[in-house]
A and B are shown apart, each in its own frame.
Chain A
Amino acid sequence: MIIDRSIKPEEKGKIEFQLPEIKKTKLQNGLNVIFVEKNNLPIVQFNFVADSGSKKDPVGKSGLNYLLSLLIDEGAGKYSALQLDDEVESIGSILRCQTDQESLSVSMLTLKEHLEKSLELLSLIVKEPRLTQDDFEREKHKQLTKIIQLQDDPEYIANSVFRKILFENSPYKSSSIGSYKDVENITHQDVLENYKRNFSPGTSTLIVVGNIEFNTILKLIEKQFTDWKAERTIEENQNVIKPKKRQFYIVHKNGSAQSEIRIGKISRGRTSDDFYARTLMNSILGGQFSSRINLNLREDKGFTYGAHSSYQYNKNGSAFIVSTGVESEHAGESVSEILKEIDGIRKFISKEELNFSKSYLIKRYPSMFETFSQVSSNLTLMTVYDLPLDYFNVYIDNIERTSLAEVEAAAKNDLLPEYISILVVGDKNIIKPQLERLTSQQIIELDMEGNII
């Protein structure tokens, strides 16, 4: 068969994709339940989300909620830490506890045949964690050692220092794991109080994605959770974060083979009216492989293994951040190319670029609902950001109807050069002279914790 390979085959047929139906309810004690039925495998994924997270760490006690997430599954109800682990492992379930800026979550992936036992263990962890003094000492020591180890990780240093630059004086200024000095000061009592302050049914959500009917799972959830009575109210965080003036920063890391670059600024939240326009703009600028920044720095110059940009959201706002690791002798040129791309997108976006990004975001949509944990994390986003119940149904329409003018406006209004911060982590002797050629400003030198030297 002779075929003409010079012609790209066209799309054939039409996709039929049904979004899963999302069910939402509330138990009598106030616990929110969000459910999606998914029947292709005998699996159930639970994710319990508490309105906690590192934004709730008291001043001087950064890392407190991280420590709670290490400690919360170290024994619960009648089970000691080792007994609890044994119970989970012997039914082949996977338990994970983690904290980010906005929430503390306990998730459990289980086979359907072990659903009841898994739910019982999950509820014990949430309602009756033991939080003993011995386990506290051990997990705190683990966290402190981890903080020491992170000093070796250039990406962590860049991320945490840049967070501190952008979010200065706000509850988002610390990385979740906290600083050594703060964690050292955390007492057992602090953890107990933090649990009491931040865990209650009325301020929590249980997400369930699985091969089971809604009424059946609801009865099982009621059985395990209705006796949970803790009460507290959500405190709204009204903190307004001010954008910072344009400034270059460096962190010296001796003998680095590469330099880590972070460039960005504070931006608006997820529910702002230009969310879709900014999403598309970011996709063109640095949000995917074929974006301007990656094609420039990787596929054209070969300076890096990869470069990308994203909006990193919190409940009230976001940070727009470009990040990459580059060969140190090209650090200055890489920074200047990224700044050029940021200026460039404020001047011109083509219709073709916009269509490409729309196509990319719309057509990949069904694949965002493939695994049980993907569906569960979509529902978690919905919970954490208070997104409307029809958010996923209208997403494609919202992307489709965003105009070129709106995307151009998003770039012009959001990526103001006078508010862009620039951080490079690497060997000072190599990178500082390069950066000095890019600015007449004094370059501020920070230590690995982001304090001015």
Chain B
Amino acid sequence: MKNILDIEYERLKLKNNLDVVLYQDKSLPIVAVNIWYKVGSSYEKPGKTGLAHLFEHMMFQGSEHVPKEMHFRYIQEAGGNLNGSTSIDRTNYYESVPATFLEMVLWLESDRMGFLLPALTQEKLDNQIGVVSNERRQNYENQPYGLAWEKLFAALYPKNHPYSWPTIGWMEDIQNYTLDDVKNFFNTFYSPQNASLVIGGQFDTEEAKELVKKYFEDIPNKKTLPELNVPDVQISGNKKVIYEDNVQLPRLYLAWLSDKGYGKDDASLDILADILTGTKNSRIYKSLIIDKQIAQDVAAFQYSAKINGSFIIVATPKPGIDLDTIKAEIFKEIENIIKNGLTAKEIRRSINAYKSSYVYSLQNLDALINQINDYTCFLNEPNSFVYDIGRYEKVTAENVKSVTEKYLSKNFVELNVIQKKDA
């Protein structure tokens, strides 16, 4: 039987170097388009943080041939879904529509790739600065523990490191963008040569190729892309940060520097996270939540990105239990792994969970072609599901033990979110 994860695709490069991948799936009369621009918040400068994300908002405000509000309306009128997202490493835009509307989507995407600036106005910028400021208030400032992540990463990385500021940006930076900032950003990063376009779902391949050429090939590239300047990073001595928040219960965050995405140790660190907290039987979960019942929740994960990664553990103690108590228990479990290793059964269980999650992830076309775009941009091979799972299948108990020692016995950053006195 053919491996369903071994996907078929076609790839072409337009004359302007736009990377294009076509993936057919005719199970529903839907077509989805997904564009990555290889720019995220890590390409910003201190003082101009959050610009990549604000720029993403401006991309929905119409372009030369698409009036304000009509980008949304055209897609919605066609019965489609659309959105975009900004991460530290990239910005993506995606829409899925009935298969009959492919040309309209390519028209919309190409118009904002090539012809955004003529439609840009101060009024639109002011409005979206308001919207993004409220996004920051709603999803960060007004959420319990909502500012913890930016405190943690600001402590983990030095100030000039591109991973040290939050994707949404600092509030005072958000409120001070000018039209020139937005224009410069577009002229620097939004070129065909810096983008990757994936079309998935029901379509005719030859027709799709023609349409892509028709709408995208005459879009010129702009400046040459700037190099990312990344300072070396290491934590000199353990660091502890205390932050007061409007919360009923304190929360402990521990962070170590680790391997980057698709790096040699990345998959072993993912498996380690699962073995620590992924199931009821996992080491730390069982200790803290089932046996001792001193924590309400605990989660560990390998947060891997393009430049490097971090390994993070977050735990909330039960009322009356202090952070040092759960911290001691967490370290006891880590030391136990470093000393005594893991069982083959634990590794097997975790690998199986990863394997099935890849099959489940094929259900949604938007998510599927976004993953194809991830493989295209980071591995230069769209058909990488089999390779990707292979990374996990190869992980042994010995690998996990050794990455635990290699990364988790190093210096770390600890953040304590504690209850504000008047809360």
A3-B215 in contact given A11-B104, A81-B280 (Cβ < 8 Å): yes
The 8 A CB mask of A66-107 against B (1 = contact, 0 = none) is: 000000000000000110011001111110000000000000
> Which residues from A are CB-within-8-Å of B29?
15-17, 366
Q: Is the CB of B28 within 8 A of A43?
A: no
Whether B290 lies near A138 (C-beta < 8 A) is yes
- Cα separation A154 to B137 with both chains bound (whole Å): 12
Residue of B76, B81, B100 contacting most chain A CB atoms (<10 Å): B76
With a CB–CB cut-off of 8 A, which chain A residues contact B115?
Answer: 5
Give bound CA distance, A86 to B290, whole Å: 14
Partner of B286, one of A82, A300, A372: A82
| Interface membership of A336, Cβ < 8 A | no
Beta-carbon contact of B79 and A364 below 8 Å: yes
Assembly CA distance A371 to B81 (angstroms): 15
A355→B38 CA distance, assembly (Å): 38
Q: Which residues of B contact A305 (CB under 8 A)?
A: 131-132, 134-135, 138-139
B249:A148 contact, CB within 8 angstroms: yes
Contact of B232 with A by CB under 8 A? no
Query: How many Å lie between the Cα of A111 and that of B249 in the bound state?
Result: 39
Whether A41 and B4, one on each chain, are in contact in the complex, defined by CB atoms closer than 8 angstroms, is yes
CB distance from A323 to the nearest CB of B (A): 12
0/1 string, A247-260, CB within 8 A of B gives 1: 00000001111100
Best-surrounded residue of B4, B101, B137, B290 (most CB of chain A within 10 A) = B137
**Do B281 and A86 touch across chains, with their CB atoms under 8 A apart?**
yes
In angstroms, Cα B133 to Cα A16, docked, is: 43
A302-B69 contact in complex given A92-B352, A148-B249, A258-B142, C-beta closer than 8 Å: no
Contacts of A219 in B (CB 8 A): none
Total contacting residues, chain A, CB less than 8 A: 77
Shortest Cβ distance from A330 into chain B, in angstroms? Answer: 9
Chain B: CB-nearest residue to A289: B72
Measured between C-beta atoms, what is the minimum distance from B294 to chain A in Å? 11
| A238 close to chain B: CB less than 8 A | no
Q: Kindly list chain A residues whose C-beta atoms are within 8 Å of the C-beta of B81.
A: 364, 367
Q: B420: nearest residue on chain A (CB-CB)?
A: A255
Q: Is the CB of A363 within 8 A of B79?
A: yes
B279 within 8 A of A: yes
A156 to B266, CA, bound (A): 36
Which size class do B's interface residues fall under? 35 or more
B144 near A302 with CB under 8 A, answer no
Q: Is the CB of B78 within 8 A of A363?
A: yes
A368 to chain B, nearest CB (A): 10
In the assembled complex, the Cα of A250 lies from the Cα of B32 at a distance in Å of: 44
In the bound complex, do residue B296 and residue A149 qualify as a contact, i.e. CB atoms below 8 Å apart? yes
Interface centre among A3, A5, A82, A138 (most CB of B within 10 A): A5
Binary flags per residue of B307-318, CB closer than 8 Å to A gives 1, else 0: 000000000101
Interface flag for B405 (CB, 8 Å) = no
Within 8 A of A (CB), among B278-323: 279-281, 286, 290, 293, 296, 316, 318-319
A32-88 contacts to B (CB < 8 Å): 40-43, 81-82, 85-86
The CB with the most chain B CB atoms within 10 A, among A86, A146, A152, is that of A152
For B103, list chain A residues within 8 Å (CB).
Answer: 9, 12
Given contacts A13-B100, A290-B69, whether A89 and B130 have CB atoms under 8 Å apart is: no
Within 8 A of A (CB), among B192-217: 213-215, 217
Instruction: List B contacts of A363 (CB < 8 A).
Output: 77-80, 98
Q: Is B227 located at the chain interface by the 8 A CB criterion?
A: no
**B125–chain A nearest beta-carbon distance, Å:** 10
Given A364-B81, A370-B363, A370-B364, are A301 and B142 also a contact pair (CB < 8 Å)? no
**Inter-chain contact B296/A290, CB cutoff 8 Å:** no
Min C-beta distance of A245 to chain B, whole Å: 31
Q: Contact between B77 and A89 (Cβ–Cβ < 8 Å)?
A: no
**Contact: B72 with A290, CB < 8 Å?**
yes
- Closest chain B residue to A369 by CB distance? B28
Which of B30, B77, B213, B249 contacts A359, CB < 8 Å?
A: B77
Instruction: Decide if A410 is an interface residue (CB 8 Å cutoff).
Output: no
A437 close to B (CB within 8 Å): no
Which residues of the partner chain B approach A145 to less than 8 Å between Cβ atoms? 249, 296, 318-319
Chain B positions within 8 Å of A136 at CB level: none
Chain A contacts of B135 at CB under 8 A?
305
* Contact between B100 and A152, CB atoms less than 8 A apart: no
Task: Tell me, yes or no, whether A304 is within 8 Å of chain B by CB.
Answer: yes
Contacts of B30 in A (CB 8 A): 366-367, 370
Q: Which of B28, B248, B356 contacts A367 (CB 8 A)?
A: B28
Task: Tell me whether A89 and B279 are in contact in the complex, defined as CB-CB below 8 angstroms, given that A1-B214, A257-B141 are known contacts.
Answer: yes
A15 touches B76 (CB 8 A): no
Closest CB in chain A relative to B287 CB, distance in Å = 12
Question: In the complex, are the beta carbons of A42 and B349 less than 8 A apart?
Answer: no
> Which of A81, A149, A371 contacts B144, CB < 8 Å?
A149
Q: How far is the CA of A42 from the CA of B359 in the complex (A)?
A: 8
Q: Chain B 71-88 against A: per-residue CB contact (8 Å), 1 yes, 0 no?
A: 011101111110000000
Scan residues 250-275 of chain B and give those whose CB is less than 8 A from a CB of chain A: none
**CB nearest to A152 among chain B residues:** B144
**Closest CB in chain A relative to B64 CB, distance in Å:** 7
A180 to B122, CA, bound (A): 50
The yes or no answer to B128 lying at the interface (CB within 8 A) is yes
Say if the beta carbon of B96 comes within 8 Å of chain A: yes
Which residues from 3 to 41 on chain A have a C-beta closer than 8 Å to any C-beta of chain B? 3, 5-6, 8-17, 40-41
B353 at the interface (CB under 8 A from A): yes
Residue in chain A with minimal CB distance to B141: A257
Decide: A5 and B107 in contact? CB cutoff 8 A: yes
With a cutoff of 8 Å between Cβ atoms, the chain B residues found around residue A111 in the complex are: 356, 359
- Decide yes or no whether B386 CB sits under 8 A from chain A: no
CB 8 Å contact bits of A342-364 with B (1 = contact, 0 = none): 00000000000000100111111
- Give the residue among A85, A146, A153, A256 with the most B Cβ atoms within 10 A: A85
- CA–CA, A316 and B160, complex, Å: 59
A258 and B143 alpha carbons, distance in the complex (Å):
10
CA distance A210 to B28 in the complex (A): 16
Contacts of B128 in A (CB 8 A): 302
- Of A93, A138, A298, A303, which one neighbours B356 at CB under 8 angstroms? A93
- A9–B104 touching, CB < 8 Å: yes
Contacting pair A299 B357 (CB below 8 A):
no
Query: Is A365 interfacial (CB-CB < 8 Å)?
Result: yes
How far is B362's CA from A435's CA once the two chains are assembled, in angstroms? 49
Contact B217 A1 (CB under 8 A): yes
B281 adjacent to A82 (CB under 8 Å): yes
Q: Tell whether, in the assembled complex, residue B248 and residue A149 are in contact, meaning their CB atoms are under 8 Å apart.
A: yes
Closest 6 CB pairs of A and B: A363-B79, A302-B130, A92-B356, A152-B144, A364-B79, A257-B141
A–B complex contacts, Cβ < 8 Å, 29 sampled? A1-B218, A5-B64, A14-B100, A41-B362, A43-B360, A82-B286, A85-B279, A90-B348, A90-B349, A93-B356, A94-B360, A110-B356, A145-B319, A149-B316, A151-B248, A152-B248, A153-B143, A154-B142, A257-B137, A290-B69, A299-B127, A302-B131, A305-B134, A356-B76, A363-B78, A363-B98, A364-B81, A366-B29, A367-B81
Q: Contacts A89-B352, A302-B130 known; list 17 others, CB within 8 Å.
A: A3-B214, A9-B104, A14-B100, A42-B4, A43-B363, A86-B281, A92-B353, A145-B296, A146-B296, A149-B316, A153-B143, A302-B134, A303-B130, A325-B134, A325-B137, A366-B30, A367-B81
